[in-house]
């Protein structure tokens, strides 16, 4: 089972893992309502290294990405759920909104690999990140899950069923 680590303490913990020759993989996301697609991302990301660190995007940034109605679950709850997953070694919430919380965390912990869902990396990201990190980090993509699910679609389905139930009474 993973551990929730406050982001300020994560650098020392990851450095200790590296002393033992462990390779570190970083991924991040909202993870508002955990579903099969998230588990698929974590399993695939873990294949790229020994230690999986998951940055749970802070509430402020989620609102920017997903709108004012999100997140459904606050960052501390989302981080607790992610950190409880066996495949995740460490989960944290980085508060930065300047460069993006996962980028800021990468600058701090210097992972060997950063993993995103396909389509997230843009041309020039590798060079930009190498400049910020001071080394040539490996960027990997995980194909979008074959489960074709998302938190947004789950929320939409709940609202649809709620409205149907409301109108049938």
Q: For the segment 64-90, what is each residue's pLDDT rounded down to a tens digit?
A: 888 898 999 999 999 999 999 999 999
Average pLDDT, the chain: 89
What integer pLDDT is reported at residue 95 of this predicted model? 87
Domains of the chain, residue spans: 3-168
Q: Global pTM?
A: 0.88
Q: How far apart are the first and last CA of the chain?
A: 44
Range with the poorest average pLDDT among 8-17, 24-33, 128-137:
128-137
Which CATH fold topology does 3-168 show? Rossmann fold (3.40.50)
Is residue 165 over pLDDT 70? no
Among 53, 31, 49, 11, which Cα is nearest to 140's?
Answer: 49
Look up residue 47 and give its two tokens. 């294949």
Cα distances from 88 to residues 24, 31, 39, 132, 164, in angstroms, run 12, 13, 10, 25, 38
Q: In which residue are the tokens 């109605």 written?
A: 69
Task: Give the pLDDT mean for 50-62.
Answer: 95
- Looking up tokens 């995740």, which residue turns up? 88
- Mean pLDDT confidence for 41-60: 96
Burial of 116-128, coded b for 16+ CB within 10 Å and e otherwise, reads bbeeebeeeeeee
Please give the average per-residue pLDDT across 24-31, as a whole number.
96
| Structure confidence at residue 100 (pLDDT) | 78
Residue of 87, 98, 105, 80 lying closest to 38 (CA atoms): 87
Residue 142 in contact with residue 41, Cβ under 8 Å? yes
- pLDDT tens profile 105-117: 999 999 999 999 8
- Pairing assessment for the beta strands 90-92 and 51-56 based on DSSP bridges: parallel
pLDDT band at 44 (very low <50, low <70, confident <90, very high): very high
């Amino acid at each position: 089972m993973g551990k929730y680590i406050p982001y300020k303490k994560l650098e020392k913990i990851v450095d200790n893992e590296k002393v033992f020759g462990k390779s570190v993989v970083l991924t991040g996301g909202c993870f508002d309502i955990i579903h099969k697609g998230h588990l698929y991302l974590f399993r695939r990301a873990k294949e790229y290294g020994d230690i999986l660190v998951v940055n749970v995007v802070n509430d402020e940034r989620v609102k920017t990405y997903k709108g004012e109605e999100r997140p459904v679950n606050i960052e501390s709850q989302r981080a607790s759920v992610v950190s409880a997953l066996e495949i995740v070694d460490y989960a944290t919430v980085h508060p930065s909104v300047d460069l993006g919380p996962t980028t800021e965390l990468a600058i701090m912990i210097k992972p060997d690999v950063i993993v995103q869902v396909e389509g997230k990396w843009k041309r020039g990201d590798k060079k930009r990140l190498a400049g910020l990190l001071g080394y040539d980090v490996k960027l990997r993509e995980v194909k979008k899950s074959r489960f074709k699910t998302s938190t947004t679609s789950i929320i939409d389905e709940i609202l649809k069923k709620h409205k149907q139930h409301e109108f049938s009474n």
